[in-house]
Amino acid sequence: MRPGRPLVALLGAVALVVLVVDQLTKVWAVATFTEGERVPVVGDLLGLTLLYNPGAALSLATGMTWIFTLAAIGVSIVVVRIAARLGSRTWAVALGLLLGGAVGNLVDRLVREPGLAVGHVVDFIAYGDLFVGNVADIAIVAAAGLIILLSVRGVAVDGTREGAAAGGGPAEGGPALGAPADGAADGGSADGGADRSVTDADPAGRRETP
């Protein structure tokens, strides 16, 4: 598919849905749960625990909030610039998920306590005792999976495939299909030519004596 507005619109729509769902669920979590208390959903495997995360996605690298604020801004800029070359619906969805997730957590870092660019991200989905995340994190992980899959399959952002074979044909410099072998163009071998000269002189193959 050629790059165009429909794919850019798809990317934007996916990003907007992720952003809205992420922010609404965070508002709900803050209003519903008490920080640190766990509400089981699927036993010990999945639960709901309100946590204010000063680090990266999935509660990693706490204490480096401003670095991830800059990283989220950089990712958003890169995605917007790549959008002009989109030629694949799957890439549009993947980049929309990435953009929506990045902006979702970026909003928290910009507007939440303790201050601009160092705000703590609201996490509330607890995966066992491993980490606590949010909807934006889910979108980022899904985007990463799609991007890896597309890269493995050789699908570029513009929709082309790497290593696509060109149209086949005879090798350059080789004999053309249907061309006669050497000597056949002259009607046969050299010996055949001599036989014909004898035959032309005497159909019976005998020479006349003077």
Residue 161 phi, psi dihedral angles, 5° rounding:
-110, 135
CB 65 within 8 A of CB 109: yes
CB 49 within 8 A of CB 132: yes
Round to whole Å and give the CA distance between 31 and 96. 28
Which member of 137, 182, 186, 195 is catalytic? 137
Q: Choosing from 22, 123, 129, 158, which is the catalytic residue?
A: 123
Share in percent of the chain as helix, strand, coil (round to 5): 50, 10, 35
Q: Please indicate whether residue 191 is annotated as part of the active site.
A: no
Catalytic residue flag (residue 123):
yes
In contact, 127 and 46? CB cutoff 8 Å: yes
Question: Residue 17 in contact with residue 33, Cβ under 8 Å?
Answer: no
Residue numbers annotated as active site = 123, 137
